[in-house]
Structure 1
Amino acid sequence: MSRPDAEPSLHDDAARAGWLYYVGGMTQDQIAAELGISRQRAQRLVSRAMAEGLIQVRLNHRIGACLDLEAALRDRFGLDRVRVAPGLGAGADPVRAIAPAAAAELERFLRMPEPLVVALGTGRALRGMVDAMVEIDSPQHRLVSLIGNIAPDGSASFFDVVMRIADKVRAPHYPMPVPVISPTPEENEAFHRLPPVRKVVALAEAADVVFVGVGQMSNDAPLLADGFVTRAELDEMQTAGASGEVAGWVFDSEGRYLDLGTNRRTGGVRVAPGLARPSIGIAAGASKVPAILAALKSRIINGLVTDEPTARALLSRA
């Protein structure tokens, strides 16, 4: 006896409605008729499909204004790779604007036939990038984290992306098995003396390409919001001129790493300025402009994926 089909889930319905709308070109009235539901439910299902990432939209046409901004950023900062995505308007989350472009940039490397070591930072922008990626079989590459994957409470760091990417590309992956920030410099050094940690660090230091988020060090700093630094520690680093951070390592407005605060206890691998290999920053938003600018000045990053408003702000301040 054949097994009866399972009842469709809400995700099934949302995926089908999204497919009919974005791929099939149906109106919401047509979707309602096709699925035998009300127009209001059809509208909710289409919205759900997009909100939950069941449907991903990529812009194939390169808008002229974005191309002009890419050329200007490349010339001003001597960048190797630049992608500028159209902005989504005031109040919109810039991660949504840049995630598809960032995903396409990473996929470009993952489709290369020669084996690469791809080192990855963490954060909301990189997590958005992973969510926007398509599945690719890339077993020839190795993925390694630049930053520890243990949060202050002992849990896995929420924005760690290495395992998420590995699920999509089926490549060997190497998390950094240390705290993001250890309680003391001595404990951090003890972790880094462990043979498994030393192997992962060596792999990260030899990476062929680097993808990182860029965090601001203003009062809305991600390190503070996510509980990795205290208010007092942030105050100390701000007083010393902290402007931004990459992979948890804090730098000033010229892109020089600070020798104080949590930098003495940060786990993982610091992205050295002036790398000959691609080091691509994935970041956008008004609050991040000083941090991105500092990272570009010192060439902690030599490539950038951002959006139109951020690109214009960077050029106006350069």
Structure 2
Amino acid sequence: MKDGRKKKPNSSSREDFLKKLYLIAYEYYVNGKTQQEIAEQLGTHRVLISKYLKQARELGLVEVRLKDPLFEDTTYKKLFLKHFNLKDIIVVSFPFYKEEKDYHVGASLVGRILDGMLTNGMIVGIGWGSTLEIISKHLHPTKKLSETVFLPLMGGTNQLPHYFRANDFVRNFAESYNAKPKYIFAPFYIENPSQKELLLSSGDLRETIEFWKKLDLAIVGIGCYIQKSPLFQNKIFDEKYLRSLLENNVVGDVLTYFFNENGEVVNLAVYKNLVNIPLEDFLKIPTRVGIAGGLQKVQSIVGALRGGLVNVLITDDKTAEMILRYLGT
């Protein structure tokens, strides 16, 4: 009696099949032949070659690896190090800000760079802003960091746009790396400074904020457009502070510490009302990564670098070139 079950291919036939897939993949990826040329060579149809190439990828015979042409280019690094006291500058080939249509490609490249910086056991502070929101959604984790802690560098508020919700970015990082999140459930701005001290002394919040003195790495954006800042448009900061910033020729901010083009931070009375990492603690963090790009941020980036607010810059090639032209290099 015949057995109706299909016979399993023996090891020899499977080996022959894998060899065939390898041959087709080699001709296509290494020798650069078209699918039609390979089909004619093997006396079969192009559609079947396309199917075989897909199977070769699925079985792991083919690994596609793309290399950013600027990732290891030292030209920008040498030029920037002449002007700024940086630990590193990393330039990607695509923009990562929403004004550009291919921003997701650049954001993924930045995610890959950050992945190389992160190690297990680190304590990592996360800033806010539209750039960090995008990056936190395009992470490229290659490892689990179960002993790493991610936490915000400031409180939050529902009065500001969604890209000011640093807790959300912390969650994205922590979930991507199977790490430990620490959240700050406190307002960014507290009208009465004495209430701020009382709030910061509470148990859970005090425990999280104590991590600010132990940070290994900070990942922040660099702000610009002071007059258009939601902090002023939403009347979180009084207009008198805006006048003070304009009088001091402020060009940008990092974590709401406003600075001029020389990197000098403008002292504002409002700082005592803010729930964010103290500037002196921030500047003690060994690696402070600033991620920023775009024409409108050239002066902001220059100021942040001159003031040493960040010591690692991640930007795109167009912005890097504009900064160098601005510096007369």
Normalised by the length of structure 2, the TM-score is: 0.68
Stretches of structure 2 lacking an aligned partner (at least 5 in a row): 1-33, 36-45, 51-63
Cα-to-partner distance string for 1:56-89 (whole Å, 9 max, x where unaligned):
x995132389642233223321311211112459
2:196 to 181, 188, 192: 188
Q: 1:75 to 1:121 in 2, by over 3 A?
A: same
| Equivalent residues of 2:68, 2:92 under 8 A apart | no
**Structure 1 residue 162: deviation in Å?**
0.7
| Equivalent residues of 2:190, 2:196 under 8 A apart | yes
Q: 1:88 to 1:230 in 2, by over 3 A?
A: same
Please report the RMSD computed on the Cα atoms of aligned residues, expressed in angstroms: 3.6
**Structure 1 residue 107: deviation in Å?**
0.9
Cα-to-partner distance string for 1:14-65 (whole Å, 9 max, x where unaligned):
xxxxxxxxxxx99xxx9xxx9xxxxxxxxxxxxxxxxxxxxxx995132389
Q: 1:207 to 1:128 in 2, by over 3 A?
A: same
Alignment match, 1:290: 299
**Structure 1 residue 224: deviation in Å?**
4.0
Q: 1:64 to 1:118 in 2, by over 3 A?
A: closer
**Structure 1 residue 277: deviation in Å?**
0.7
1:132 to 117, 135, 138: 138
2:261 to 228, 253, 257: 253
Q: Report 1:30-109 matches (<5 A).
A: 60-63=67-70, 67-87=74-94, 92=100, 96=104, 98-109=106-117
- Distance in 2 (CA, whole Å) between partners of 1:138 and 1:290 is 36
Secondary structure in 2 matching 1:279: strand
% same residue: 19
**Structure 1 residue 106: deviation in Å?**
1.9
Alignment match, 1:117: 123
| Equivalent residues of 2:144, 2:178 under 8 A apart | yes
**Structure 1 residue 279: deviation in Å?**
0.5
Q: 1:95 to 1:231 in 2, by over 3 A?
A: farther
**Structure 1 residue 215: deviation in Å?**
0.6
- Is 1:179 paired with 2:173? no
Q: Which amino acid aligns with 1:269?
A: I
| Equivalent residues of 1:146, 1:270 under 8 A apart | no
- Is 1:305 paired with 2:311? no
Q: 1:151 to 1:246 in 2, by over 3 A?
A: farther
Q: Which amino acid aligns with 1:308?
A: D
- Distance in 1 (CA, whole Å) between partners of 2:256 and 2:325 is 27
Q: 1:287 to 1:156 in 2, by over 3 A?
A: closer
| Equivalent residues of 2:154, 2:276 under 8 A apart | yes
Alignment match, 1:4: none
Q: Which has the larger radius of gyration?
A: 2
| Equivalent residues of 2:128, 2:164 under 8 A apart | no
- Distance in 2 (CA, whole Å) between partners of 1:156 and 1:189 is 26
| Equivalent residues of 1:247, 1:270 under 8 A apart | no
1:144 to 142, 148, 151: 151
Secondary structure in 2 matching 1:137: coil
Normalised by the length of structure 1, the TM-score is: 0.71
Alignment match, 2:9: none
Cα-to-partner distance string for 1:178-237 (whole Å, 9 max, x where unaligned):
212223333333322323322222202210111111111433335446764455543332
Cα-to-partner distance string for 1:231-279 (whole Å, 9 max, x where unaligned):
5543332223322111222223332332215323221203447546111
Alignment match, 1:20: none
Secondary structure in 2 matching 1:125: helix
Q: Which amino acid aligns with 1:134?
A: H
- Distance in 1 (CA, whole Å) between partners of 2:163 and 2:224 is 22
Secondary structure in 2 matching 1:147: coil
Cα-to-partner distance string for 1:136-162 (whole Å, 9 max, x where unaligned):
421021112111133338x99545411
**Structure 1 residue 98: deviation in Å?**
4.1
- Distance in 2 (CA, whole Å) between partners of 1:158 and 1:282 is 17
**Structure 1 residue 300: deviation in Å?**
0.9
Q: 1:142 to 1:233 in 2, by over 3 A?
A: same
- Is 1:206 paired with 2:182? no
Q: Which amino acid aligns with 1:178?
A: A
Stretches of structure 1 lacking an aligned partner (at least 5 in a row): 1-24, 35-56
The alignment covers a number of residue pairs equal to 265
| Equivalent residues of 1:147, 1:269 under 8 A apart | yes
- Distance in 2 (CA, whole Å) between partners of 1:58 and 1:89 is 20
- Is 1:197 paired with 2:205? yes
Q: 1:228 to 1:86 in 2, by over 3 A?
A: farther
